Amino acid sequence: MLRVDIVTIFPEYFREAFEHGIIRRARAAGLVEIKAHDLRSWTSDKHHVVDDRPFGGGDGMVLKPEPSFAAVESLAGARRREEIPIGKRVVLLSPQGKSLTQSLAAEFAGCKQLVLICGRYEGVDERVAEALATDEVSIGDYVLSGGEPAALVVIDATIRLIPGALGSETSATTESFSDGLLDYPHYTRPPELEGMKVPEVLLKGHHAEIARWRHETAMEKTKRNRPDLLKE
Ligand code: 6GU
């Protein structure tokens, strides 16, 4: 069982996010338990302030460190990265993080607990990344206004890799990225749509030919859309 704790200033953002499809099924099957927590509940001042002005000046506010340290202490039982037990990960979501990859999602899928701290684009006090989080993760080279959509992405990519979460046990290993290529093109009926035909080879049932076609088209599509995946 994987336990996922989200720490956010917008817990309501996640209200219906886990009630669909594979995530809903995985929860119902007891494979994962997910809870969104309000960062403000770990403040001690009357107005539950979670941000403050940046030292050194500049625009925007910075998320204060103390509520995040208190949150991780209560959720994971430690106030320093080195004290986070094996099998638990404390993930700070920020555009400065390492990229989320299929292999990182697979590591997360094998954990017993993930604590996801949603940053905000103006910034999070660096001591959270430096001393508290086991991982600082970004979902791509663009800027989101907060880490909340990124937390959803991490959770989705992770849960579908938990054994038993997918209907057909094979689908997670035959798709995009498991072999370093994009997925091959898929077709269903009708065999012709407004003059656009399904490739002949797929209609004939010659399995070796189909496998070869799928590898070739996956390769072409990767070259065209993601040449970076073919380098190194
Ligand atoms: Cl994890 N957070 C924010 N704010 N922006 C991002 C991101 C995360 N990943 C890509 N852009």
Per-residue model confidence (pLDDT) at position 171: 62
Say what the pLDDT of residue 30 is: 98
Q: Are 38 and 11 in contact (CB under 8 A)?
A: yes
Residue 67 CA, ligand 1 centroid: distance in Å: 20
Three-state secondary structure call for residue 113: strand
* Of 114, 121, 137, 139, best ligand 1 pocket probe by most atoms within 8 Å of the beta carbon: 139
pLDDT (0 to 100) of residue 173: 59
* Three-state SS annotation for 49-105: CCEECCCCCCCCCEECHHHHHHHHHHHHCCCCHHHCCCCEEEEEEEEEEEECCHHHH
Residue 175 has a pLDDT of 61
Residue given tokens 């797929």 in the structure block: 202
pLDDT at residue 232, rounded to an integer: 75
- At residue 79, the pLDDT reads 97
Looking at residue 59, its pLDDT comes to 94
State the closest ligand 1 atom to the C-alpha of 121, by its place in the atom list counted from 1.
4
pLDDT of residue 176: 65
- Who lines ligand 1 at CB under 6 A? 93-95, 97, 119, 121, 138-140, 142-144, 146-147, 150
Averaged over successive runs of 10 residues, the pLDDT of the chain (232 residues) comes to 98 98 98 98 97 96 98 98 98 98 98 97 94 98 97 98 82 67 98 98 98 98 98 84
**pTM above the 0.75 mark?**
yes
Q: Give the pLDDT confidence score for residue 120 in this predicted structure.
A: 85
CA angle 124–109–232, rounded 5-degree value: 80
> Which one-letter amino acid corresponds to residue 141?
D
User: What does the pLDDT read at residue 151?
Assistant: 99
Task: Give the pLDDT confidence score for residue 99 in this predicted structure.
Answer: 98
